[in-house]
Structure 1
Amino acid sequence: MTATVLVLVETINEYLPILERQGFHLILAPTPAERAAAIARQGSQIDAVLTRGPLGLHANEIAALPNLKIICVIGAGYEHVDLQAAADHGITVTNGAGVNASSVADHAMALLLALVRDIPRADAAVRRGEWPKIMRPSLAGKRLGILGLGAVGIAIAKRAANGFDMSVSYHNRQHRSDVPYSFCSTPTELARHSDFLIVAAPGGLGTQHLINRQVLDALGPQGFIVNIARASVIVTADLISALEQRRIAGAALDVFDNEPQVPDAFKGLANVILTPHVAGLSPEATQGTVELVGKNLTAFFSGQPVLTPIALPPPTAATLHNH
């Protein structure tokens, strides 16, 4: 059968022939208007949806797609996909956990280096004809704390420990006996034992606002924080006040609460580096991600188990009678 896939993602067009070669029919709807129009006009033809965490797929959209059977999320996060609605309609959900871990880890280290060594300000000064001798800390021998030791966290830890001679600690839902890094039982304890803190935890309710004023104060006035995960993990107002009052040394952020809107407070601060949620974007990661989507779709439509399923909540009682 030729399954029809609604593609809501805007960054993968170059790699969509991978799916077309596998026989899938694609409907591209990367803007909110195109998305609404495609669901309204072609809803009954759509068998699968390809989305990413921040774009999601909402309950009313799922209800408007009577033949939807599978939702594939590129990247690890799926925070705006309505898992309850998927469960209620018997829909399978997959993600791309781990595929872009190298790319995200590279970006995390690039942000950390740029932040600690003050690269953007040095670059701007030279372009203005200035020649400031800026004295900045080294990374070697420093203590790195990683919040969330999944595929991305592990990739960051390896780069930091093996490449930069840093000592690595982490906080995670559970202690991992398979790694040589030090476990801290709370985010505050992790921050207290860190010179630099990198957020690599998934988004969602389980991690919401794990980093607040208390954690930032534990990181301290010499401490730097990098977030390549989800903005929801940090209380944004607490981060802004800590930066403005120099209670921490600086922050580098790839993620924001209401993308693409970025708080003006961040833009006005010299001790902040901002990138537009691009950590996971590399040709290698994008190709790998789309290939994984292809494998999940092919497996699903040929009756095989999908490769990277997301666990869904139990269906609500009312829907059990309808199916």
Structure 2
Amino acid sequence: MSRVYLTRPLPDAVLARAYELFDEVEVREETAPLKIGQMRAALTLYDGVLPTLGDMFSAEVFRDAECPRCKVLANFGVGYNHIDVAAAKVAGVMVTNTPGAVTDATADIAMTLILMSARRAGEGERLVRSGQWAGWHPTQMLGLHVTGKTVGIIGMGRIGQAIAQRCHHGFGMKVMYYNRSEKDLPFDAARADTLHDLAAGADIVVVAVPGGADTHHLIGADLFAAMKPSAHFINIARGDVVDEATLIAALEAGQLAGAGLDVYEHEPKVPDALRSMENVTLLPHLGTAALEVREAMGLMAVENLRAALNGETPPNLIA
């Protein structure tokens, strides 16, 4: 008898597969993150749980969970910094994720933000909707021409490389990157020795690192101070990778030309200062928000659940 818990509504194709594979499936209809009591209960009531971003399975959640019924947390998403993997392992709970399925969609959102920020698309759209657009003229809303510029990518994993490919092949951009190790890439790309060097040399800086303790506030005042006043800053990684207060200060001081954000430090709260700036493009965490992508993520997570509950090694086991 297998009993699983899906902590959010999921696409129909994913639900159908879950109902096909497991004896009992409970789908939580709320979209807000689980509370600590709900997470603790889930560990005792279900054989497997499919959580996602915001479900903070911290060490505290696992503290009294000795030999829980739950054997696997099959995370819906590639990022798993909301799960204390070490604490889960001690409790005997496997953790999996959904790599690969999110790569292209997230890279596409990075390109959306690059273009929207550089070409002032959000500002222009608001102008038209306001009814105050007076018509075309030669100096109207001049932005940054992206083609041929230099993109600096922080983090050169799957998503960073997908962004680099789009920038290089689609827009003839020069690629710089900052990464712990050198990457063998199928196009010219210069590895920066420091974040300062990358920021100083790039016209567009894109953050594509995983979340977690190692990258918390990786991006702050020093990087923004090193950027060109004409440069744009893009974040499609995790919100707390950026010290949001320093980003706001840099934008207010004119240290950079604009920013495009899909994630926020205290999501879903977005500071009034960011919402009020015309040169900031704000998206509601749309990185993987395409039906076929969310279906692929869900089916991958369900397969991780199935494998774990059948005594197999899940295909995307983290620990």
TM-score, L = length of structure 1? 0.89
Q: Quickly say closer, same or farther: Cα 1:227–1:182, change in 2 above 3 A.
A: same
Distance 1:185 1:309, change over 3 A: farther
Q: Deviations over 1:5-55 (max 9, x none)?
A: 222234546632222122352222345697667557675331111112332
Q: Mapping of 1:264-283 within 5 angstroms?
A: 264-283=272-291
Match among 198, 201, 215 for residue 207 of structure 1: 215
2: CA distance, partners of 1:187 / 1:230 = 17
**Which residue of 2 is the match for residue 321 of structure 1?**
none
One-letter code aligned to 2:128: V
Contact kept, 8 Å, 1:44 with 1:66, in 2: the verdict is: yes
Secondary structure in 1 matching 2:256: coil
CA distance in 2, matches of 1:40, 1:238: 36
Structure 2 residue identity aligned to 1:78:
Y
Runs of 4+ in 1 over 4 A off after TM superposition: 10-14, 31-43
Aligned-partner Cα distance in 1 for 2:70–2:204: 44
Aligned to 2:240: 232
Q: Do 1:75 and 1:97's aligned partners in 2 also have CA atoms closer than 8 Å?
A: yes
**Aligned partners of 1:227 and 1:255 also within 8 Å:** yes
**What is the deviation of 1:222?**
0.5
Note the residue ranges of structure 2 that are not aligned, 5 or more in a row. Answer: none
Tell me the secondary structure at the aligned position of residue 190 of structure 1: helix
One-letter amino acid of the counterpart of residue 261, structure 2: L
Query: What is the rounded CA distance, in whole Å, between the counterparts of 1:42 and 1:111 in structure 2?
Result: 37
Q: Which moved more, 1:174-183 or 1:200-209?
A: 174-183
**C-alpha RMSD of matched pairs (Å):** 2.2
DSSP-derived class of the 1:205 partner: coil
User: In the TM superposition, what whole-angstrom CA distance separates every residue of 1:166-202 from its partner, at most 9, and x where no partner exists?
Assistant: 1111111211124532111222111112100111100
Q: 2: CA distance between counterparts of 1:85 and 1:179?
A: 39
1:123-272 mapped onto 2 (5 Å cutoff): 123-127=125-129, 128-130=131-133, 131=135, 133-180=140-187, 181-272=189-280
Match of 1:307 in 2: 315
Q: What is the alpha-carbon distance in structure 2 between the residues aligned to residue 302 and residue 97 of structure 1? A: 21
2-structure distance, mates of 1:24, 1:292: 19
Q: Is the 8 A contact 1:253 1:275 kept in 2?
A: yes
Measure the CA separation in 1 of the matches of 2:277 and 2:186: 37
Distance in 2, Cα, partners of 1:22 & 1:199: 38
Contact 1:54 1:79 in 2 (8 A): no
CA distance in 1 between partners of 2:224 and 2:43 (Å): 46
**Number of aligned residue pairs:** 310
The amino acid that maps onto 2:272 is D
CA distance in 2, matches of 1:46, 1:216: 46
Distance in 2 (CA, whole Å) between partners of 1:22 and 1:187 is 47
Amino acid in the other structure paired with 2:208: A
The one-letter amino acid paired with 2:68 is: P
SS at match of 2:223: helix
Query: Alpha carbons of 1:7 and 1:268: their partners in 2 closer, same or farther (altered >3 Å)?
Result: same
Q: Under a length normalisation based on structure 2, what TM-score does the superposition of the two structures give?
A: 0.90
Counterpart for residue 101 of structure 1: 103
Distance 1:307 1:33, change over 3 A: closer
The amino acid that maps onto 1:302 is N
Cα distance in 1 between the residues matched to 2:95 and 2:192: 32
Change (3 A) 1:244 1:24: farther
* Offset, 1:58: 2.9
Deviation of 1:253 (Å) = 0.7
What is the distance in 1 between the residues matched to 2:41 and 2:215?
37
Aligned to 1:67: 69
Amino acid at match of 1:5: V
Structure 1 residues 38 and 243, CA, compared in 2 at 3 Å: closer, same or farther? closer
- With over 3 angstroms needed to count, the CA separation of the structure-2 counterparts of 1:273 and 1:296, relative to structure 1, is same
Query: How far 1:290 sits from its partner (Å)?
Result: 1.0
Distance 1:158 1:309 in 2: 28
Q: Is the 8 A contact 2:39 2:57 kept in 1?
A: no
Task: Find the counterpart in structure 2 of residue 84 from structure 1.
Answer: 86
Q: Structure 2 vs 1, CA of residues 218 and 284 (structure 1 numbering), >3 Å: closer, same or farther?
A: same
* Distance in 2, Cα, partners of 1:36 & 1:27: 18
